Amino acid sequence: MRKRLARWYPVIIWILGILSFRSSLADQYVIPSGSMEPTIQVGDHVLVDKRAYDLRVPFTHVSLRRTGEPHRGEIIVFSDPRSPSINLIKRLVALPGDRVSLRDGVAWVNGHREGADHPLKRLPRHVAYRDRDFTVPPDSYFFLGDNRDNSADSREWGFAHRDALLGRARNVLYSISWEGHLPNLSLRRLGTAL
């Protein structure tokens, strides 16, 4: 019995190594909704650099040390503040201490309209958002989806804490959509930088 188990050790070690790599260094995130359209499409598989902000103990959210700080405009995967077992992907709009004014779904940060170096999607008849003014608390961040009229984001659930940040989205690895029961690989999305 022990000999039979011994021949599986290399396989078990390989599997644990892959899982550790995905848990602490890099992983992919599958886009489930259109909240980041047009930048990221439903079905995109996105490469996430999990070393961008923290080096973590594998299989945990325990940070061994900070490796970087997030910047406005980055697309980040983080734990949902309402349900930490769910991961979200949104664009970082405001940092700790920033003053944010929301006017008709548009964010003004420290008196300047949010940078428009990325495309945004607006619906012709968009949802009426409540105008608000606030300051981002310490160790917290304000996120918005690029699909501004169809995104559950900081306008709905508030701020995400620094400890919730899981990694920075870097590239679209590949994109799969479904036509009936058949998968359709979109080659034009391969490697798209985020």
For residue 93, the domain's CATH number is 2.10.109.10
Radius of gyration (C-alpha) of the chain in whole angstroms: 19
Task: Provide the number of structural domains found in the chain.
Answer: 1
pLDDT higher than threshold 90 for residue 28: no
- Average pLDDT rounded to a whole number, residues 14-20: 63
Is residue 56 a part of any domain in this protein? yes
pLDDT at residue 18, as a whole number: 65
Pick the catalytic residue from 24, 35, 154, 175: 35
Does any domain span residue 17?
yes
- Does position 20 have pLDDT exceeding 70, yes or no? no
d(CA 151, CA 155): 9
Q: Return the pLDDT at 151.
A: 92
- 3 labelled catalytic: no
Whether 90 maps to a domain, the answer reads yes
pLDDT of residue 16: 64
| Structural tokens at position 79 | 């734990």
Give residue 186's pLDDT: 82
pLDDT higher than threshold 90 for residue 69: yes
Residue 194 inside a domain? The answer is no
Q: Do the domain assignments include residue 127?
A: yes
Of 24, 79, 90, 151, the catalytic one is 90
The more confidently predicted of residues 72 and 59 is: 72
Q: 74 or 184: which carries more pLDDT confidence? A: 74
Of residues 180 and 77, more confidence is placed in: 77
Report the predicted TM-score, pTM, of the whole model to 2 decimal places.
0.86
Distances (CA, A) of 32 to 35, 57, 133, 176, 181: 9, 27, 30, 11, 17
Neighbouring residues of 152: CB distance < 8 A, sequence distance ≥ 6: 35, 145
16 belongs to a structural domain: yes
d(CA 175, CA 191): 10
Domain that holds residue 132: 2-189
CA 95 to CA 92: how far, in whole Å? Answer: 8
27 in any annotated domain: yes
Contacting residues for 42 by C-beta, under 8 A, at least 6 apart: 31, 32, 33, 34, 177
Question: Does 85 qualify as catalytic in the annotation?
Answer: no
